[in-house]
Structure 1
Amino acid sequence: MRLFLRIVPVVIIMGTIFLLSHQPGDTLPLPAFPGSDKVAHMMAYAALAAAVLWFFGKEGIKNQKTTIFWTVLFCLCYGISDEFHQSFIPHRSVSGLDLLADTAGAALITALWFCNTWIKKKISVL
């Protein structure tokens, strides 16, 4: 039951990304500054990575490096599927830069998680 509850945020965020990606490109209300879509991609995939990390739990999978690898890989694969999905939506297209922003958002949150975990371990040793 506990594992089921941990997967719920992952599924909700993935569903939200899918629904937003399913909107025609000319109907998206994005701020009017250059690169705003990349910021939105980074934020969405940072949230997804945070949910995946929470799913893995405090200790991660086997170790931190494995957890980092699988979290970023999961987000990258979902980003690829999202870009493929967008190729079928009017006024949307596949973008390598969007995928890069997706991966950067996931990597940023995962790196922050790693640093936080590392600092907590160092403090607990003192």
Structure 2
Amino acid sequence: MSFGQRCLYLVPMLLVMGTIFFLSSQPGDTLSLPDIADLDKLLHAGIYGVLAASTLFAVQGNRWRARPRVVAVFVVLFCMLYGLSDEWHQSFVPGRTPDILDLAADTVGAAIMVLLWLRCPWCTRNPGTPGTASRQQRAG
């Protein structure tokens, strides 16, 4: 895979990150969510689940793909750190405040997506290896 092709895999992740940054840049008085309990936490978990999925897509074909558990930990930590930077960023936006529960929702959303990815047999197999062959090799 060429360098240009590898860079294209980053585009969805960068678009999601840009969307999160844009949304968190909106002043607090311009946000209007329906009055549903914990809807903001559900939205945080959802968008960070999408960030995790796009990050997993970005590392496909990478040599780390052969180690799904390492990738899983990396992706959850990456999303958590991006969530932390997003909460810090919100501290500078009028009408917005950082919230540790938002960060928790971000991390949970990313972790759920990564766990789903780990359970998906064709998502975690080594590139170029039939799905059952990689399991047979691990089994013995």
TM over 0.5: yes
Structure 1, unaligned stretches of length 5 or more? Answer: none
- Identity in percent: 42
The 3 A distance-change label for structure 1 pair 99 and 105 is same
CA distance in 1, matches of 2:81, 2:70: 16
1:102 correspondence with 2:85: no
CA distance in 2, matches of 1:30, 1:86: 17
TM-score by length of 1: 0.90
Corresponding residue number in structure 2 for 1:64: 68
CA distance in 1, matches of 2:114, 2:96: 28
CA distance in 2, matches of 1:73, 1:105: 12
User: For residue 19 of structure 1, what is the amino acid of its counterpart?
Assistant: F
Structure 1 runs of 4+ aligned residues shifted over 3 Å read 118-121
1:7 correspondence with 2:18: no
CA distance in 2, matches of 1:81, 1:108: 20
TM-score by length of 2: 0.82
- In our comparison, the structure showing a higher alpha carbon Rg is 2
CA contact (8 A) 1:53 1:60 kept: no
1:29 correspondence with 2:32: yes
Corresponding residue number in structure 2 for 1:78: 82
1:55 correspondence with 2:58: yes
CA contact (8 A) 2:87 2:98 kept: yes
Partner of 1:34: helix, strand, or coil? coil
Corresponding residue number in structure 2 for 1:116: 120
Partner of 2:35: helix, strand, or coil? coil
Corresponding residue number in structure 1 for 2:128: none
Q: What number of residue pairs does the alignment pair up?
A: 125
Structure 2, unaligned stretches of length 5 or more? Answer: 126-130
> How far does residue 29 in structure 1 lie from its aligned partner after superposition?
2.6
CA distance in 1, matches of 2:20, 2:99: 15
Structure 1 window deviating more from structure 2 (9-18 vs 28-37): it is 28-37
